[in-house]
Amino acid sequence: MSGGAALPDGFETARLALRLIAEADAGPIFEGYARDAEVARFLVWRPHRSRADTDAYIARCLAKRPDEARTYVLAGREDGAVRGAFDLRRDDANRMGFGYVLARRWWGRGLMPEALAAVADWALAQPGVFRISALCDVENRASARVMEKAGLAREGLLRRRILCPNLADEPRDCFLYARVR
């Protein structure tokens, strides 16, 4: 999907700066969370085995068209240190989608609901955008809570919808969450 304006260069929240991912983020991302199997448990990618995996991931992020999809790192506003990442994309002219990950040492402080609420507020203020949505595995309670706290509502159960390679070699059931205007 393309044709809209470029997605923003960044977002700011009370505690976080979401800024565009860059090659120089490979070290902190690899060390901070991408090699952590517990972080990747419900994700569609396997834990990175080396810096080269993280370099390749960042190259894929940077290759996306800025009007279609962008990847931001979540950096602390105070220290600038990378805490996680956030993907935002246009699914079509009227709706956006997203994904997120946070290093384990930063879990449980409400950082991702803060980031998601800011992005969802922005998305739903864009002309023509009426919906922002994502899926999460039925057992990913933490992610479901993030979306609920950011004002998304659970719309349903999609069966056999996502392949989580770290959990099973067959697609698993997931919940669909969305916020609309």
Ligand X SMILES: CC(C)(COP(=O)(O)OP(=O)(O)OC[C@H]1O[C@@H](n2cnc3c(N)ncnc32)[C@H](O)[C@@H]1OP(=O)(O)O)[C@@H](O)C(=O)NCCC(=O)NCCS
Bridge partners of 85?
73, 101
User: Cβ of residue 120: shortest distance to ligand X, in angstroms?
Assistant: 14
Contact between 42 and ligand X by CB under 6 A: the answer reads yes
58 vs 117 by CB, closer to ligand X: 117
Contact between 143 and ligand X by CB under 6 A: the answer reads yes
Contact between 109 and ligand X by CB under 6 A: the answer reads yes
Amino acid (1-letter code) at residue 134? A
User: Cβ of residue 109: shortest distance to ligand X, in angstroms?
Assistant: 5
Is the distance from CB of 34 to CB of 5 less than 8 angstroms? no
90 vs 113 by CB, closer to ligand X: 113
Closest residue to ligand X: CB criterion: 108
Which one of residues 129, 136, 152, 178 is an interface residue with ligand X (CB under 6 A)? 136
Is the distance from CB of 76 to CB of 24 less than 8 angstroms? no
Which one of residues 10, 27, 80, 110 is an interface residue with ligand X (CB under 6 A)? 110
73 vs 101 by CB, closer to ligand X: 101
Which one of residues 39, 74, 117, 152 is an interface residue with ligand X (CB under 6 A)? 39
- Report the C-alpha gap between 127 and 112 in whole angstroms: 25
> Would you call 20 exposed, middle or buried from its count of C-beta atoms within 10 A (0-12, 13-18, 19+)?
middle
Structure tokens given for 123: 């998305």
Is the distance from CB of 18 to CB of 11 less than 8 angstroms? yes
CA dist list (Å): 64 to 39, 48, 86, 127, 158: 24, 20, 14, 22, 27
User: Cβ of residue 104: shortest distance to ligand X, in angstroms?
Assistant: 7
| Residues of the shown chain interacting with ligand X in the complex, contacts defined by CB under 6 A | 39, 42-43, 100-102, 107-113, 136, 140-143, 145-146, 149
